[in-house]
Amino acid sequence: MSDEELLKLIGEALISAKPKLKKSVANLTMETRLDEFNLDSLATTTTSGYIEDRLDIMLDETALPEVETLGQFVALIRSSMKS
């Protein structure tokens, strides 16, 4: 799966967690910061759960709080895909 495909999936996950973000996720990049989306703990859990379900993976929950950018999130997803 390419970076662009993973960014699109993250965008879908963010919209699933917080539908008002639909316009905000149109131009996601690897440098986009997660804090730009003001996700609360429920939205964060919903976002990661969406990705886990779509890719049939388990994300490292201990690493999630350290993720600051979408590039780091993509790297976390990739490392979970290898496990």
Mean pLDDT of the chain: 93
The C-alpha atoms of residue 79 and residue 82 are separated, in whole angstroms, by 5
Domain extent, residue 52, equals: 3-82
pLDDT of 22 > 90? The answer is: no
**CA distance readout (Å), 13 to 32, 70, 71:** 15, 12, 15
Report pLDDT digits (tens) over 45-73.
Answer: 999 999 999 999 999 989 999 999 999 99
> How many domains does the chain fold into?
1
Which CATH number do you get for residue 13?
1.10.1200.10
**CA distance readout (Å), 50 to 12, 70:** 8, 15
SS3 content of the chain, % helix, strand, coil (to 5): 65, 0, 35
